[in-house]
A and B are shown apart, each in its own frame.
Chain A
């Protein structure tokens, strides 16, 4: 079966712009989690959605937001981009959530902010 699909894989933006990243989970998975990965901080949790509801949220500013659609696909948005937002953004899906099931990760979206 198809894995977790993230688009776009690479993108370059400038400071002040906004970006939207997309994640299609494994079929049947209802939970989608987003992580930011940087060399200095490792994987940091952004938020988790389950059945279109945000269930958990990490310690990121309000510029980071997300949503989940009825088909479980999820998007995350970062507004007013800063240089420090340059990172690999990973999406992961699971049946019922990271607390209950093993996560399956996508290949990530590499964001570079100039």
Chain B
């Protein structure tokens, strides 16, 4: 059965801390892994990873995929209160005609 598991489920840090969010997956016909950030309602896209070992960066956020060990991490450096959100990881199964399976998310709370 396809599944995506995120850890931790929740995390509380202080501004300035660095955090690492984890995502492991077992997805048949794997095509890509995606990260989304959900603050209020609509998840917004962060990264799509298709190749192993290549880090993607956007400001203080970065992510990398390990296709051998079937996991991905999302790093956030120098956290700010605006980083407080639920971070969702999703595995693309079934190829181009396929779909996404989401993990349950990591709820990150950044305290001032």
A48 proximity list for chain B (CB < 8 A): 99
B104 in contact with A41 (CB, 8 Å): yes
Q: How far is the CB of B23 from chain A (nearest CB, A)?
A: 12
Interface residues on B, range: 20 to 34
Q: How far is the CB of A67 from chain B (nearest CB, A)?
A: 18
Q: Is B61 an interface residue (CB 8 A)?
A: no
A35 proximity list for chain B (CB < 8 A): 102
Interface residue count on the A side (C-beta < 8 Å): 26
When C-beta atoms are compared, the residue in chain A nearest to B29 turns out to be A99
What would be 14 A-B contacts, judged by CB atoms less than 8 Å apart? A41-B104, A42-B102, A42-B103, A43-B90, A43-B105, A97-B97, A99-B98, A102-B45, A102-B48, A105-B36, A107-B40, A107-B41, A107-B42, A108-B41
A33 proximity list for chain B (CB < 8 A): 99
B97 proximity list for chain A (CB < 8 A): 55, 97, 99-100
Q: Is A66 an interface residue (CB 8 A)?
A: no
When C-beta atoms are compared, the residue in chain B nearest to A3 turns out to be B42
When C-beta atoms are compared, the residue in chain A nearest to B4 turns out to be A42
Which positions in B face A, CB cutoff 8 Å?
31, 34, 36, 40-45, 48, 88, 90, 92, 94-105
B90 proximity list for chain A (CB < 8 A): 43
Q: CA of A42 to CA of B99 in the docked complex: distance in angstroms?
A: 16
Q: A98: which of B40, B44, B92, B105 is its contact (CB, 8 Å)? A: B92
Q: CA of A98 to CA of B95 in the docked complex: distance in angstroms?
A: 9
A98 in contact with B42 (CB, 8 Å): no
Q: CA of A108 to CA of B44 in the docked complex: distance in angstroms?
A: 13
* 0/1 string, A58-88, CB within 8 A of B gives 1: 0000000000000000000000000000001
A100 proximity list for chain B (CB < 8 A): 96-97
B31 in contact with A99 (CB, 8 Å): yes
Q: B99: which of A88, A96, A99 is its contact (CB, 8 Å)? A: A99
**A106 with B88, Cβ < 8 A, contacts A42-B103, A45-B99, A99-B98 known:** no
B36 proximity list for chain A (CB < 8 A): 105
**A43 with B102, Cβ < 8 A, contacts A97-B96, A99-B97, A102-B48 known:** yes
Q: How far is the CB of B72 from chain A (nearest CB, A)?
A: 16
